[in-house]
Amino acid sequence: MTEAVEPDFDVIVVGAGPAGSVTAYRLAQQGLSVVLIERGEAPGAKNLSGGVLYGRVLDQVFPGFADEAPVERRITRHVTTFLTPDSAVSLDYRSERLAEPVNAVTVLRARFDPWLASKAEEAGVFLMAGVRVDALLTEPGPDGSPRVVGVRAGEDELRARVVVAADGVNSFLARDLGLRRTEPTHHLAVGVKTVLRLPRAVIEDRFGLTGDEGAAHAVVGDCTLGIGGGGFLYTNTESLSLGVVLRLDDLVRSGRTAIEVFEHFLEHPGLAPYVRDAQVQEYGSHLVAEGGAAMVGTLATHGMVVVGEAAGLTINSGLTVRGMDLAIGSAIAAADAIVEAVAAGDTTATGLAGYRRRLEASFVLQDLATYARAPKFLERPGMYGAYGELAADVFRRVFGLDTTPRRHLIGVARQALKKSPVTVRQLVSDGWAGVRAL
């Protein structure tokens, strides 16, 4: 298909997060001319730092990336904790097998995103940082619906055969074309996050780590004052990333502010010893997509594809929060589909349909399908209060030897259950739902 006006580039990628930079890199590597537009003064400047990147998919793009990229620590310890006001019940998994081949690493986005974008530049991508895309340029498509032919940024217009919307959770590009609807509030969460500086030796002592080993703590219960969501605490080389992610509908219902909950988490006796004497390095707040499979909109239209969180590609399974690896997986699929479409001279929705096909064949849409029930399961109220209390009560009875005669574990559990607002029926129902969702 020939365009009326000769395009300036084969592809315009909007947003230099993991999705945008990897798409741009793959496209340039395969010989296409690409511009990568980022509104932040530098890639990563607008992204909240800190997070666990499940890195195997990035290894496919940059083999051995963890030895070259500015990654912080290799996660060898995952701790999941139920917090109550005065106790903590944890599942603590650590294994050196998680370090090699590298499974998950912590990254600080202010360092990691510029590295990814620099790889794209080395491959020939033209990076325009500090430029905000304001609108899509469209013309009537083959079936009368709009065909994207470029973008407008301020006074400037740029044209391309394909535009890639990699503009994150709020993606106005996808919304503008009606590819994503306005999300219900239970599909969104607000994240409040900080990076706290601590000497390397102190981090290693407090978390029982050596060398570049790292720990990832996921916390539920009293850390969010019972509001749907959770807290996290990740170790970087010389800092900690920690914060809370709060389901928007539940936060509004609670009448509390996200900052109030975040401060409660920071001062919680279960967490305070880890962050003692740490200095605040940065602080911010950001929306997170939480709807899972139900949130994924239309992925391709005439002249445009949507990648990463702009397409709603995130998974919160309760145990892991994933967005960056899915963003990278979608970038690989999108780039390969665009190369195919440009070569065939058809960049309409039909020509770009290979993007969805590739995503369906990859872990991205398959994992979203596997965890499709997780968001609904995580809306069940007992998750953030009663179950933590119940578990803590069982362990208090097991370890609190007060000279009364001991009972077998099953008797202890029955006693604790009798005192708890959780009914046997609810336990069975939630247990079954959990098995199917997670």
Ligand X SMILES: Cc1cc2nc3c(=O)[nH]c(=O)nc-3n(C[C@H](O)[C@H](O)[C@H](O)COP(=O)(O)OP(=O)(O)OC[C@H]3O[C@@H](n4cnc5c(N)ncnc54)[C@H](O)[C@@H]3O)c2cc1C
CA-nearest of 209, 191, 206 to 277 is 206
Residue nearest to ligand X (CB): 323
Q: Least separation, in Å, of the C-beta of 394 and ligand X?
A: 30
Q: How far apart are CA 234 and CA 215, in angstroms?
A: 6
Judged by the rule CB under 6 A, the positions of this chain that interact with ligand X are: 14-20, 37-40, 46-48, 51-53, 132-133, 166-168, 191, 193, 243, 245, 286, 288, 308-310, 314, 321-325, 327
Beta carbon of residue 314, minimum distance to ligand X (angstroms, whole number): 5
The strand ranges marked E within 84-116 are: 88-94, 104-107
| DSSP β-ladder status, 52-54 and 126-129 | unpaired
Which string of DSSP letters, residue by residue, matches 161-199? EEEEE---TT-HHHHHTTSS-PPPGGGEEEEEEEEEE--
**DSSP readout, 128-142?**
EES----EEEEEE-T
Whole-number minimum distance, CB 117 to ligand X, in Å? 9
Cβ-based nearer residue to ligand X, 89 or 174? 174
3-state secondary structure of 376: helix
The residue whose two tokens read 């310890």 is: 77
Q: Which is nearer to ligand X, 66 or 391 (CB)?
A: 66
Closest approach of ligand X to the CB of residue 270, in Å: 19
CB-nearer residue toward ligand X: 232 or 387: 232
When the beta carbons of 333 and 392 are compared against ligand X, the nearer one is 333
- Least gap, CB of 418 to ligand X (angstroms): 38
**What's the DSSP call for residue 150?**
E
How many whole angstroms separate alpha carbon 257 and alpha carbon 251? 7
Q: Considering the complex, state which of residue 302 and residue 322 has its C-beta at the smaller distance from ligand X.
A: 322
- Cβ 17 to ligand X, closest distance in Å? 2
Pick the closer one to ligand X by CB: 243 or 382.
243
Displacement of CA 21 from its chain's centroid (Å): 16
CB of 22 to ligand X, least distance (A): 8
Give the separation between CA 208 and CA 199, rounded to whole angstroms.
14
CA distance 425 to 266: 35
* C-alpha to C-alpha distance for 8 and 367, rounded to whole angstroms: 37
Cβ 184 to ligand X shortest distance, Å: 18
Of the pair 37, 179, the CB lying nearest ligand X is at 37
**In contact, 157 and 313? CB cutoff 8 Å:** no
Q: 196 with 242: CB under 8 angstroms? A: yes
Helices (H) and strands (E) in the chain, counts: 16, 19
Q: Which is nearer to ligand X, 167 or 389 (CB)?
A: 167
β-pairing verdict for 71-83 and 213-221: parallel
